[in-house]
Amino acid sequence: MSIVVDFNRLSNTSAQVENMNGRSSTSTQDENIYDKLKVAAQDGDIERLYELIAEDPNVLGHFDKVSFCETPLHIAVEAGQTHFAMELMTLKPSLASKLNVSGFSAMHLALQNNYSRMVRGFVAIDNSLVSIKGRGRVTPLHHVARIGDVELLSEFLFACPSSIEDLTIKCETAVHVSVKNHQLLAFKVLFGWLKRVNKEEILDWKDEDGNTVFHIAALINQNEIMKLLHKTVKVNAKNFYGKTAWDILQTHQSPCFPEARRLLHNVKERLLCGSTTTLARYLSKNLSSIEKRNKFLGLGNLNSNRERSLNTSKRNDAILVVAILIVTATYQAGFSPPGGFWQESSSNPHDIHSAGQMTMPSNIAVFFTVFNGFAFLSSLYVIIVLIIGLPMWKLIYGSVAAISIAMVASYVTIFPDPGGRISTVVFGYVLAFPLTIGTMLLATLMAFTVDKHCRHRVDFPASCFRSYDATHLRFFLLFISLLFFLGVFTFVHIS
């Protein structure tokens, strides 16, 4: 696509600005140097470019004074002068973000003219150009999704992952664009990338009509796309006209839709048994058990904006660090109680004890184990709340149970027992400790499962709710560090 704009318009504007500042340059001289710059851009003459810069070191800076104009970069791109364009981007990076009067950046023009090598060069210099908005808020990612250039599409996703969240003025993501333009392979690339980066919720985003990707696939009879999506998206989501994908297919009674209708019939049970709820209806309900728990612990249930989400994340980090320190201290205290251990057994009627038991009296040992165990359990519960939903969280839950059993075994071994047998207090503690841990794990797991199901039924982006996914990887790393430290400490103590 070739766009011709009056290049001299910039020269006149620049001359007026300079005259207002009392400078002695004339309009004729400006027109002359900008005409030479235009010719150099069309010819790709880099040597001539530097000669013009020597004549006027601010020759490229003049373009910043005009909001919309055809820069030498636009001209070089339309002429296919890759090296000249990249040289200009290096000398004046701001030119890459300039839109011409038709609303296109140099990146858009390079894509429209199929200059793939030039496009890759631009991205190598500045990967943020993948998400630069042009006319209609269309980004280069939208463009390659529309034309189905899967190689550039893949490179763009890795160069600028956040570009997948960019919306056009019609509220369309690149996924919407690919499906509307029947680009099946491009959709598969986007779908595979979203699954690998745990951003499947973008598939439920709605365009200006409230249609998700699933609605659009049903509307234009994209059967293969519907087969890929029906287990991932909210199949019972409604658009702004109150229609689900099944309703859309029902309105098309043409025999060209039998396969799609059969597919939607297979998920009809899901549509009926798990109807969606609006955000307003969800907010009007009473707090769920997990939301009440989060409120009690000072955790938010909604992510109203990105800044608040970051602040909440930092606060959760601090809570987790403190909880880990308490768990570490109480676990260590269980293995190294005040007073230490008896080194040998004694059968003295006035002082019966066994080697390896605490030296402190039984009544004091009860207080110590109860309060130390309470601190351990409460901090462990906070950690359980914060780590649920993280990578391999089920394995972490198993590790929590293992730590608890190990601590119970240590208390059974080291608790002072003058009678030579397990006292009633110790026996009750041994039973209460694993039961408490099991209850904590089971209750948290059930609450998480129920809450996740309820949030999935809300016809609204999941990112607006408190995140339980893998975004807080540092939680996982901190907890793994805790497990490693406790394992080393236990090994050293036993040795």
The 10s digit of each residue's pLDDT in 283-342 is 666 666 666 666 665 665 565 444 444 555 666 677 778 888 888 888 778 777 888 877
Which domains, from first to last, does the chain contain?
Answer: 1-125 (1.25.40.20), 294-494 (no CATH)
Q: Which residue has the tokens 């990887």?
A: 473
233 has a pLDDT exceeding 50? yes
433 has a pLDDT exceeding 50? yes
| 93/82 Cα distance (integer angstroms) | 15
| 260 and 223 Cβ atoms separated by less than 8 Å | yes
- What's the pLDDT score for residue 273? 46
Task: Note the helical H segments in 343-472.
Answer: 362-387, 393-414, 424-457
| 129/226 Cα distance (integer angstroms) | 32
Residue 465: φ, ψ to 5° = -100, 165
How far out from the chain centre does Cα 352 lie?
Answer: 61
Average pLDDT over residues 436-460: 66
Indicate the pTM of the whole model.
0.64
Q: DSSP 3-state assignment of 21?
A: coil
- What's the pLDDT score for residue 423? 56
- What's the pLDDT score for residue 148? 93
| pLDDT digits 0-9 by tens, 349-375 | 667 777 777 788 877 877 787 788 788
Say which residue, 8 or 91, is predicted with more confidence. Answer: 91
Closest CA to 84 of 110, 108, 58: 110
Per cent of the chain over pLDDT 70 is: 63
| 445/398 Cα distance (integer angstroms) | 12
| Count of C-beta atoms within a 10 Å radius of residue 149 | 20
Task: Note the helical H segments in 92-212.
Answer: 106-112, 116-125, 140-147, 150-159, 174-180, 184-196
| 20/18 Cα distance (integer angstroms) | 5
Encoding tokens for residue 306? 């990105």
| Count of C-beta atoms within a 10 Å radius of residue 264 | 23
Q: How confident is the model at residue 6 (pLDDT cuts 50, 70, 90)?
A: very low
Say which residue, 452 or 488, is predicted with more confidence. Answer: 452
| pLDDT digits 0-9 by tens, 143-186 | 999 999 999 999 999 999 999 999 999 999 999 999 999 999 99
* Residue 286: partners with Cβ closer than 8 Å, 6 or more residues away: none
Q: What is the mean pLDDT of the chain?
A: 76
Mean pLDDT is lowest, of 111-125, 232-246, 450-464, 479-493, for 479-493
| 196 and 226 Cβ atoms separated by less than 8 Å | no
